[in-house]
Amino acid sequence: MSTTPVQPTTTMQDNPVKVSFASMIGSAVESYDFFIYGTAAAGFFGPIFFHTKEPLIGILAAFATLAVGFLMRPLGGYLAGHFGDRYGRKAVLFWSLLAMGLATVLIGALPGYEQAGVWAPIMLILLRMVQGIGFGAEWGGAVLMAFEHAPAKKRGFYGAVPQLGIPLGLLLANGAFLLSSSLFEGDWVWRMPFLLSFVMVAIGIFIRMSVNESPEFEKARADNKIVRQPALEVIRSDWRIIMRIMGLRLAETGGYYLTTSFMLSYVVLASITTKEHVLWGTLIGSAIGLISHLVYGALSDKVGRRPIFLIGAIFTILFGIPMFMMINTGAVLMVVVAVSLSLLFSHDPIFAVESSWFSEQFPAHVRSSGISLGYNGASVVAGLLPFIATGVYGMVGWIGPAVMFSLLGVISTLCAVRTRETAPAIVAKVRPSHAPSRARTV
């Protein structure tokens, strides 16, 4: 099923700037919570929770718990889609943020293996599962609130605003670790970023609850289009689009975690440099991303979603081996530039258009389910990649993860060329105004 972008409804709605900002702040908090786990897993969790003195084994165990969070994200996406399409987007945003925040704070208070024995990794895994459910529930509601409040011709731009929460959350997460390492010693270095989540979650909930429900959802409810099992309905009718969205995401989400989480452990395992240099590259790339996402989103309203997406997908294909070669020099400048370029040209163009391009594939009454299932389905693969890349590196060296990075771009590029363009400005040029539309509208 393909649809043309829905037109603005007459339902009372908030200013799109206000809604987009609220969605972005909440996403930043959730992203911060999720990403500090990846940083801690790469740099701290091996010896603390898994009681091993072998660095490679400790990192593999820590990355396995990182993957658990990703494995739970489809469940979070299913629940968010179901309840978001049945009862509204706003309630889902509240509960997802609360669940994520509580789990993050509790991780910061966990005892290690020396204090609690085998219960330490068990409790860590259980809380990571809660994090995964919360983060899986987050994205669909956040982007739909911004997308569905925005004017049709500017949905690429406003849909990109919540996506800023990802680089902002990563910026805050890595900044928190760099600051914590300079202020504290021992366990407090990794615990403080987790404990500080309490304050950020409280702020995020307050801001998010100040906006109204999505006008698109309110219209669907007023038109009696709400269905009892929206997730099952969209799976039956649009499973091909859901699968395609999963493929579209691989270059962005898989490449992202290879560039950030895996690279933190790789530079240490290969005795290239310290993890702080990768963190600085991530910080700089994330800071630039606060601007680049908006630029890419705005451009997608003018030239189309697919051309912008392909910038990132094709760059991912070309940059895998050069990125590792730059990092293998060990020069601080080369490491920082390599990580920053990966985020700016591989991740950002794709991520900026995902919210609008994916949302425009589904009608409003099943839209939350459709985008949440596709988005979080790809996260299962992405969550396993740091673990897989570490094992591949142990067998064949750096060329293995480099080729993995490029292959993700190949998959996403193939999916992109088979996904129809939905930007209103481009659709209007391709289809004359007098020609009947075969797409379903809502």
- Backbone conformation region of residue 158, classed left if phi is above 0, alpha if psi is from -120 to 50, else beta: alpha
In the structure encoding, which two tokens stand for residue 206, read together? Answer: 């307050």
Enter the tokens of residue 229.
């099992």
Q: Is residue 435 part of a domain?
A: no
- The token duo for 89 is 């987007």
Task: Please report, for the domain that includes residue 157, its CATH number.
Answer: 1.20.1250.20
The answer as to whether 5 is a domain residue is: no
Q: How far apart, in Å, are the Cα atoms of 101 and each of 37, 84, 138, 206, 343? A: 12, 20, 12, 13, 26
- Whether 409 and 315 have beta carbons less than 8 Å apart is answered as yes
Q: For 86-119, b where at least 16 C-beta lie within 10 A, e where not — what string?
A: bebbbebbebbbebbbbbbbbbbebebbeeeeee
For residue 11, being part of any structural domain is answered with no
Q: Is residue 124 a contact partner of residue 49, using CB atoms and an 8 Å limit?
A: yes
Q: Is 252 within a domain? A: yes
d(CA 404, CA 415): 17
- Assess if residue 10 is contained within a domain: no
Q: Which helix (H) or strand (E) holds 61?
A: helix 55-87
Please tell me the total count of domains within the chain: 1
Helix, strand, coil percentages in the chain from 3-state DSSP, rounded to 5 = 80, 0, 20
Which residue range is the domain that position 422 belongs to?
Answer: 16-430
Looking at the domain assignment, is residue 436 inside a domain?
A: no
Contact residues for 331 (Cβ-Cβ < 8 A; gap 6+): none
The answer to whether 151 touches 16, Cβ cutoff 8 Å, is yes
Q: Which H or E run includes 31?
A: helix 16-43
Q: What is the pLDDT along the chain (442 residues), one digit of tens a residue?
A: 444 444 444 445 578 888 898 889 888 888 888 778 877 877 788 788 887 667 677 777 777 777 788 788 889 989 999 999 999 888 888 898 899 889 999 999 999 888 998 899 899 999 999 988 988 888 888 888 999 999 989 999 999 999 998 888 878 887 888 888 888 888 888 899 999 888 888 888 888 888 888 888 888 889 888 888 998 999 998 999 999 999 999 999 899 889 988 898 899 888 898 888 998 998 899 899 999 999 999 999 999 999 999 999 999 999 999 999 999 999 999 999 999 999 999 999 999 999 999 999 999 889 999 999 999 888 888 878 888 998 999 899 999 999 999 999 999 999 999 999 999 888 887 665 444 444 443 3
Distance between CA atoms of 170 and 6, rounded to whole angstroms? 32
Count the alpha carbons within 13 Å of 194 in the hemisphere toward its beta carbon.
Answer: 23
Half-sphere exposure at residue 400, Cβ-oriented, CA atoms within 13 angstroms: 15
Q: Is residue 318 part of a domain?
A: yes
Considering the domain boundaries, does residue 441 fall inside one?
no
